[in-house]
């Protein structure tokens, strides 16, 4: 079963992993070093992110590196665009109201 990107980012630990990967590719051990949970626990989160396509993995020698899949993140950005426009419209209406007062 393929995981949905929205289910994947619903978890705060997975969102934190994605944030870590914005600076570059990391090994599972390097990622796990940022969390208090076990290496296996973090590994399960990484696998969920990999299954939904949010992260890609590459092997360099004996190490596996995970990096952010920016194309998958664009899917989230595209979905958020409608909300972004709504928020901008409401903030502009609030600005206009405050200026009138």
Q: What is the mean pLDDT of each run of 10 residues along the chain (101 residues)?
A: 82 96 96 94 95 95 96 90 90 91 87
Neighbours of 54 (CB within 10 A): 25
Q: What CATH class is the domain 5-100?
A: mainly alpha
In sequence order, which residues have a C-beta less than 8 Å from that of residue 54 and are 6 or more positions away? 5, 8, 9, 14, 18, 68, 69, 72, 73
Cα 61 to Cα 83: distance, rounded to the nearest angstrom: 43
Q: Which pLDDT score is estimated for 2? A: 62
Domains of the chain, residue spans: 5-100
How far from 16 is each of 13, 29, 51, CA to CA, in Å?
5, 15, 17
* Residues facing residue 65 across a β-bridge: 58
């Amino acid at each position: 079963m393929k995981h949905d990107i929205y289910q994947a980012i619903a978890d705060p630990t997975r969102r934190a992993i994605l944030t870590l990967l914005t600076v570059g590719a990391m090994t599972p051990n390097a990622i796990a070093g940022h969390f208090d949970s076990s290496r296996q626990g973090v590994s399960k989160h990484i696998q969920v992110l990999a299954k939904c396509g949010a992260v890609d993995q590459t092997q360099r020698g004996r190490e596996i590196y995970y990096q952010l899949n920016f194309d998958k993140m664009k899917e989230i950005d595209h979905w958020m665009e409608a909300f972004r426009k709504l928020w901008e419209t409401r903030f502009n209406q609030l600005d206009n109201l405050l200026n009138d007062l």
